[in-house]
Structure 1
Amino acid sequence: MPSGQAIDLQEVLVEDLGGETWLRFRFVAPQIAKGPDAIAYDLAAPDMEHLCAAVALPYMTEHALAGQVIVVSLADRVVEFGAADPDATQYFEAFRAQDGTCIWEGL
């Protein structure tokens, strides 16, 4: 990872939203947890772009998945999708795959 943190894939979800297919790549990144040594969003953002390019795009090819939106999320702990956890730190970014690269969409 560009930030140097250790990140593990939690799950990949495929969802239809408003006529588009969203692929959600959910990762656990314990070092973004609150505290003096936490990796802040500005340092974690390049990690999400890297994960899109290095994990999401190859995963899509390997599993023959197509989607209009790729969401990469980092959480400091496993959080069930859609569940509220006010103690969890979570970061999200959206991308579109174009010409073999990830284009930032912003959420």
Structure 2
Amino acid sequence: MTFAMRLLIPAACFALLLPPAARAEQVQVPSGQPVEFHEVIRDAPGLGLAYRFRFVAPDLARGVTFEVAEADMMHLCTSYALPRLPNLGPAPNHVVISLSERQIDFGETVPDIVQFFEVYRPEGTACVWDGF
């Protein structure tokens, strides 16, 4: 085994050991637009116990309307977020689903990036829209 081969083997194995959130995960939505899971943030100030599921949807930059994104966000809440909420400990009061045309830091405001957010109350196997 050459020195170069010995370096490549651990690097290839490392990619397999990354936690799921560190790898791109494509998620299917009703509109068919490409959506990728970005991260989940727990307990950020503002809504009490809440889980914020953040997704990247590059087609938002190409004119996906809020109405289309709204249906996708409801789907992401019920089919993606709810099954991933913890079964032990206190239940979250809210689930926030966000779509952004590209990854940005949580809380960052970038005027030229399209972002959509919706807040839901988890009730059993359903997400109930919780507009403020």
* TM-score in terms of structure 2 length: 0.71
Counterpart residue number, 1:15: 43
Q: Percent identity?
A: 38
Alpha-carbon distance between aligned partners in 1 of 2:43 and 2:53, rounded to the nearest angstrom: 11
Structure (1/2) with the larger helix percentage: 2
How far apart are 1:20 and its partner, in Å? 1.9
Task: Tell whether the 8 Å contact from 2:50 to 2:96 is kept in structure 1 after alignment.
Answer: yes
1: distance between equivalents of 2:35 and 2:103? 12
Q: Which has the higher contact order (CA 8 A, sep 6+)?
A: 1
Q: What's 1:26 paired with?
A: 54
Greater Rg by CA: 2
Q: Which structure's residues are more often strand, by fraction? A: 1
Structure 2: how far apart are the matches of 1:63 and 1:6? Answer: 32
In the aligned structure 2, how far is the partner of 1:90 from the partner of 1:74?
6
Q: CA deviation at 1:56?
A: 0.4
Structure 1 runs of 4+ with >6 Å offset: 62-65
1:74 aligns with 2:119: no
Displacement after TM superposition at 1:66 (Å): 2.5
Give the 3 Å change call, closer, same or farther, for CA 63–5 of structure 1 in structure 2.
Answer: farther
Quick one: distance in 1 between partners of 2:46 and 2:111?
28
Asked if 1:6 corresponds to 2:34, the answer is: yes
CA distance in 2, matches of 1:68, 1:5: 29
Residue of structure 1 aligned with 2:124, choices 74, 77, 99: 99
Match of 2:72 in 1: 47
